[in-house]
Structure 1
Amino acid sequence: MSAIEDRILDKTWFYRFRLPSGRITTTYDDGALDQIHDSRLAMLKQVVDQRFGGTLAGHNAIDIACHQGWFSTKLVEWNADDVLAVDARAEHVADTTLIRDALNLSKLRVMQSDVHAIDTAKLGQFDLVLMLGLIYHLENPIGALRQARALTRHMCVVETQIVPGMTGMVDYGSYRFVRPLKGSFGIIDETDDTHGPEASTTGICLVPSLEALFWIMRKIGFARVELVPPPEDAYEQLRYGKRVMVAGYVE
């Protein structure tokens, strides 16, 4: 096991993992990003506890765009019966697998797939679906949310950057036919950053407004959609509403 830990500690990670020996991974920029992960985890734990009664025992979960598997490991720690970690990048799948083996998490499975390529019929549904930090890196965020809805048995948690919203009425083909805006998307260019492990794989990103995210999630089949409140000491983007966490409920 020490050989696996040595491999892990030989690189810098996006997340702070505590290994069985008690050693902790070094994270980007000397831990400058740790607060956002801690804030997201606190928000996730709050909404998971509310929905599942403080434990995931008897439930399964899928973590879409799991990155290095940090949140997936937390779901196992919260006693989920089965957790499937999915990511499009081979390096993230390898990192998650390495962490899983180091922590001896037999209930954690790892799969490589783009969100749009997931065979939802084959995988079936999960009591809890995570989609954290993904949709604002996609050129088809609505398609990704539809995938998440198809996989959701009870609750889906989406965390994303958002853009300012637009409201008002627009002529729709003629001044005689006027429609209300239900939200808006901002276009972000990541075409020069697709090599980066935290960036888009295609480079074209459509980032929703909060109104758009709520409206879309309701339209694709979530019966109820709620904003998860950030803690008072949350990372600044979450504290000031530049990023949000939203829970969608099937029933």
Structure 2
Amino acid sequence: MTDLESRALAKTWFYPFRLPSGRQTPTYDGGVLDAIHHTRTQMLDAELARTFDDRLDGLSALDLACHQGWFSAHLAQRGFSRVTGIDAREEHVADASLIRDALGLPHWQVRQADVHQLEPLQLGLHDLVLCFGLIYHLENPVGALRAARAHCRRLCLVETQVVPGMTGWVDYGSYRFVRPLKGSFGIIDETGETHGPEASTTGICLVPSTEALVWIMQRIGFSRVEVLPVPDDGYEQLVHRKRVMVAGWVED
């Protein structure tokens, strides 16, 4: 076992990384959350097969808010020629870098950056952009989705917690000017948890409904948007639509 593996095994992780020796990193609460990572990976793989026919060599991927690097590592191992992961937290960048080196994945780059501070095309165009577990921790989720679209060449996958939708009509200044609701947002308070590694960095969280997320992705420039199917034995929140994975395609 290498020194890198020893360092990885010495701490508790959010993800169950399989190391070259065959050992697995210990995870929070004895692995009770592992199922969500496996379900999201299964759904990701299904879409890679459908959109790219699993022909990943020569393609690049961008993982926004990559956390400790679970999905970045998976994409690098699946065959993407170039993977870039960014995260706002220094400790996440350090953890992802440790896993990258332990797994021997030099074509995976990890950088510290806040999605809201990215300039258009700052990180280049990528065939795949991931936005997993991010937008429901943000006070400006639309801005993050615009950043994802700006860096996307072909496919963007967004996975998020969602809130119940609201429909109906609103008098918009007067009963003579009525507008339909296209979706809704719920406000979640994480102001007391900003120190937590899985929480918001600002504490104010706007969580979209599924209808709102789909409508926004359509309006910011994705030519086709779909809510992806969930395996029957998948993680309960995804099965019961408390979370969703939505695909947006950029087509010529």
TM-score range, shorter chain: over 0.9
Shift in Å, 1:55: 3.2
1:216 and 2:245 aligned: no
Deviations 1:57-95 (A, max 9, x none): 120000000000010011011110100010000000000
Q: Determine the C-alpha separation between the residues in 1 that align with 2:199 and 2:93.
A: 16
TM-score using structure 1 length: 0.99
Question: Aligned letter for 1:106?
Answer: P
Deviations 1:106-153 (A, max 9, x none): 110001001111233332210000000000000000000000000000
In structure 1, what is the equivalent of residue 153 of structure 2? 153
Return the alpha-carbon distance in structure 2 between the equivalents of residues 25 and 109 of structure 1: 21
| In 1, Cα distance between equivalents of 2:18 and 2:172 | 55
Q: Which residue is equivalent to 2:7?
A: 7
SS in 2 for 1:123: coil
Q: Which amino acid aligns with 2:245?
A: M
Greater alpha carbon shift after TM alignment, 94-103 vs 53-62: 53-62
Aligned amino acid, residue 102 of structure 2: A
> Residue in 1 aligned with 2:113?
113
**TM-score using structure 2 length:** 0.98
Partner of 1:143: 143
Q: Is the 8 A contact 1:56 1:75 kept in 2?
A: no
User: Residues of 1 paired with 2:4 and 2:83: CA distance?
Assistant: 22
Name segments (4+ residues, structure 1) moved above 4 Å. Answer: none
**Residue identity matched to 2:250:** V
Stretches of structure 1 that go unaligned for 5 or more consecutive residues are none
CA contact (8 A) 1:156 1:249 kept: yes
Return the offset for 1:204: 0.2
* Correspondence list, 1:25-104, <5 A: 25-104=25-104
Q: Which residue of 1 aligns with 2:230?
A: 230
Report the equivalent of 2:184: 184
Matching residue of 1:125:
125
* C-alpha distance in 2 between matches for 1:197 and 1:243: 20
Q: Distance in 2 between matches of 1:121 and 1:25?
A: 35
RMSD: 0.8
Instruction: Name the aligned partner's letter for residue 89 of structure 1.
Output: R
Separation in structure 2 between the aligned mates of residue 226 and residue 165 of structure 1, nearest angstrom: 17
1:170 alignment partner in structure 2: 170
> Aligned letter for 2:69?
G
Q: Which amino acid aligns with 1:159?
A: E
Number of aligned positions between the proteins: 251
How many angstroms does 1:4 deviate by?
Answer: 1.1
In the alignment, is the contact (CA less than 8 A) between 1:55 and 1:78 conserved in 2? no
Partners of 2:44 and 2:113 in 1: CA distance: 23
Work out whether residues 159 and 245 of structure 1, in 8 Å CA contact, stay in contact via their aligned partners in 2.
yes
Which residue identity does 2:196 align to in structure 1? G
